[in-house]
Amino acid sequence: MKNFQYAKAATAEEACGLSGKETRFHGGGIDLMGEMKDYIDSPSRVIDVSDLDQQITDKGDHWLIGGAVKLVAIVRHDALKKSLPGLVQSAEHVGSPQIRNVATVGGNIAQHSRCWYYRQPDVKCLKKGGSQCYACEGINKYHSIFAEGACISPLVSNLGIALSALDARVQVMRKGAVRDMSMEAFYELADVNPRAHNSLQPDDLVVSVKVPKGRKSSSYLQISEKGAFDWALVSCAAAADLQDGILRNVRLYLGVVSPIPYSREKAVAFLAGKKLNEETVAEAARLLMAKADPFEHNGYKVPMARAMAKRALLALEAS
C-alpha cells in the first residue's frame, strides 16, 4: 500500500478537523486496508476514529449506539439482544471473531462494495471511475437483482439491512456539524451514482446511530455458500409489532440484492394487520420479489430471497 499520514482522533470534531483532501477514516480498518493494499484507494491521510464514541446507551424510547462501537460489543450486549434481536443477529453474522473485535458500527454501515470487479486491482470498473460495469456482461453471480443505476454491485452491510428494518437514523458529522439521516437517505446515492457506495461525502463521519425501540419484534437472517465466515448471498431483516399474531408497523428489507437496502411498499402494505402465518409471508415474499430483474448468473437470488423474506418474517414470532 502507498504510504500516508496517520493520526488517532480523540474526538469527532478533531477527526473532522484533521480531515482534508484524500483522507479516509479508519474504524476497524478491515475494509479500508483491503482497499489500500489493493491500491483501490490510496489516501494520503488516514484518521483513526476507532477510539471515538464506544457507548451503547439506553435512551428510553431508543438506543444510542456510538459510531466506534465494536461489533463484538453489540453481539455481547444482553439488553440489546432482548430489545433489538435483529440488530444483534446482523452483527453476529459479520466476518469472524477477529473482524468483529475491531470492526465498528460506522465502518460496517459505510463499507464499500465487495464486487469482485471493484476489488480487482487491475480492473478499472465504473465504480472506480472507469467507463463500464463489467459485472453486467461478466460474471454477476454475486450481484444485484434490483438495480436502478449503472453499477450493479450490491450493498453488503449486514447492519445496514437490520438498521433499515428497525427504522434507525444515522448521525453524520459534516464540517463540524451533525446531521441526522434516515437509513434510506444514508444509502440512496448508491442507487443513482455508480461511483457511490452510500450517500456520505468524503469527509463525513458516522458519529452514532439512533435505533428506535418502537418495534418489539425484529429478525435478521442470511444465507451464504459456506456455513460460517462467508458473505451473504441474500440477507433479510424484518421488524414489526406483533400482538396476538397480528402484524403492525412492518418493515422488511433485503440485502445483497440491490445497491441499497431493498424493500417494496406493496409487500409491506400487504402485511399490515395480517396474521403472521405461512400464507401471509408467502404472499408478502411474492410481492416483494415481483420486480426482480436478475442478470445471467444471479437468477437464483429470486427464489432464495423469497425464502429468506418468508423466514425472516416467521422469525419475528420467536423474537
Partner 1 sequence: MNDDKKNNEAFRFSRRGFIKTAGPTTAAAMAGRVDEAVAEIEKSEKQELVGPAASPIELNINGETRRLKVEPRVTLLEVLRNHIGHTGSKEVCDRAQCGACTVLLEGEPVNACMMLAVAAQGKSIRTIEGISASGKLTSLQKEFVEHDALMCGFCTPGFITSLTALLEQAPNATDEQIQEACSGHLCRCGTYPKVLKAARAAAGRRGDA
Partner 2 sequence: MSEGWPKNPKYLSKDLQRVDAHDKVTGKAEYAYDVHPKGCLYGQILRSRWPAARIQSVDLSVAQKMPGVKAVILIQKVPREVRYYGQEIAAVAAETTEQAEDAIRAIKMIAKPLPFVVNTIDALEEGAPAVFEGQSNLSKAKIRNKGNVDQAFNEAHAVIELAVSTQVEVHHPLETHGNTIDASGEEITCWASTQGITSVRGGIAKALDVPNNKVRVKMDFMGGGFGAKFGAGVEGVACAQLSREAGAPVKLMLSRFENHLSVGNRPNSLQHIKLGADKNGKLVAFDLNGFGSAGFASGGSSAGGGGGAGIPAPYIYDVRVQRSSQIGVAINAGSARAFRAPGCPPASFGIESAMDELAVKLGMDPVELRIINDPQEIRSKQWSQAADRFGWKNKYKKPGSSPGVVKTGVGCAGSKWAGRGKGSSAEVEIAPDGTVEVRCGTQDIGNASKTFMTVVAAETLGISPELITARVGDTTFPPSGGSGGSTTCPSVSPAVKDACDNALEALQEASGISDLSGANWKKACARLAPNPIIAQGKWKKGLSGSGTGGVQMAEVEVDTETGFVKVMKITCVQDCGLLVNRLTAESQMNGGIIMGIGYALYEERVLDPITGVALNPNFETYKLTSMADTPEIDLELQNMPERGVIGIGEPATVPTASAIANAVANAIGVRVLSLPITPDKVLNALSKVPAPEESIPWGRVASLTAQGEFIDLNSKEWIV
- Give the footprint of partner 2 on this chain (CB under 8 A): 1, 3, 39, 114, 116-117, 120, 122-123, 134, 137-139, 141-142, 223, 225-231, 233, 294, 296-300, 302-304, 306-308
Of 246, 232, 248, 164, the C-alpha closest to 198 is 164
In whole angstroms, give the CA distance from residue 223 to residue 124.
Answer: 30
Toward partner 1, which CB reaches closer, 29 or 212?
Answer: 29
Place of cell 456482461: 137
Q: How far is the CB of 126 from partner 1 (least distance, A)?
A: 23
Q: Quick one: which H or E segment has residue 301? A: helix 301-314
Task: Name the β-bridge partners of 23.
Answer: 45
Helix and strand tally (H, E) in the chain? 14, 11
Q: How far is the CB of 59 from partner 2 (least distance, A)?
A: 37
260, amino acid identity: I
Cell of 110: 459505510
Q: How far is the CB of 90 from partner 1 (least distance, A)?
A: 16
List residues near partner 1 by CB under 8 A: 1-8, 10-11, 14, 18, 26, 29-30, 33-34, 36-37, 44-46, 48, 50, 72, 95-99, 101-102, 228-229
Residue 61: contacted member of partner 2, partner 1, none (CB under 5 to 8 Å, by partner type)? none
Query: What does the longest C-alpha to C-alpha distance in the chain come to?
Result: 59
Toward partner 1, which CB reaches closer, 97 or 303?
Answer: 97
Q: How far is the CB of 28 from partner 1 (least distance, A)?
A: 8
User: What angle separates helix 85-92 from helix 158-165, to the nearest 10 degrees?
Assistant: 170
Toward partner 2, which CB reaches closer, 56 or 139?
Answer: 139
Q: How far is the CB of 229 from partner 2 (least distance, A)?
A: 6
